[in-house]
Amino acid sequence: MILAAIDIGSNAARLLICETSLYKDGTVDFTKLTLLRIPLRLGFDVFDNGFVSDEKKRKLMETLKAYRLIMNIYNVEAYKACATSAMRDASNGPEIMKEILAETGFEIKIITGLEEANILYETHIADNLGSSKSYLYIDVGGGSTEVTLFSNNQIIFKESFNIGTIRLLHNKVSDEHWERMKWYIKTHTRDHQPLEAIGTGGNINKIFSISKRKEGKPLPIELLKDYHKELSYSTLEERKHLYHLRDDRADVIVPALQVYISVMRWANADEIYVPKIGLADGLIKMLYQEMSLKK
State pLDDT tens for residues 138-178: 999 999 999 999 888 788 999 999 999 999 999 999 999 99
The whole-angstrom separation of Cα 43 and Cα 9 is 8
Contact status, residue 53 vs residue 105, Cβ threshold 8 Å: no
For residue 42, give the nearest of 90, 107, 104 by alpha carbon.
90
E strands along the chain, which residues?
2-8, 13-22, 28-38, 78-83, 109-110, 134-140, 145-151, 154-161, 195-200, 219-220, 271-273
Delimit the CATH 3.30.420.150 region(s) of the chain.
125-276
* Residue extent(s) of CATH 3.30.420.40 domains in the chain: 2-113+280-294
- pTM, 2 dp: 0.89
Sign of the torsion angle spanned by Cα atoms 133, 139, 144, 150: negative
Please state the separation of Cα 272 from the chain's center in Å: 15
Domain covering 2-113+280-294: architecture: 2-Layer Sandwich (3.30)
Round to whole Å and give the CA distance between 34 and 126. Answer: 25
Of the candidates 81, 83, 36, the one whose C-alpha atom is nearest the C-alpha of residue 63 is 36
**pLDDT of 230-244, one tens digit each?**
999 999 999 999 899
CA 200 to CA 275: how far, in whole Å?
7
148 near 158, Cβ under 8 Å?
yes
C-alpha angle 10-248-231 in degrees, rounded to nearest 5: 115
pLDDT in tens, 60-101: 999 999 999 999 999 999 999 999 999 999 999 999 999 999
Domain 125-276: CATH superfamily is Exopolyphosphatase. Domain 2 (3.30.420.150)
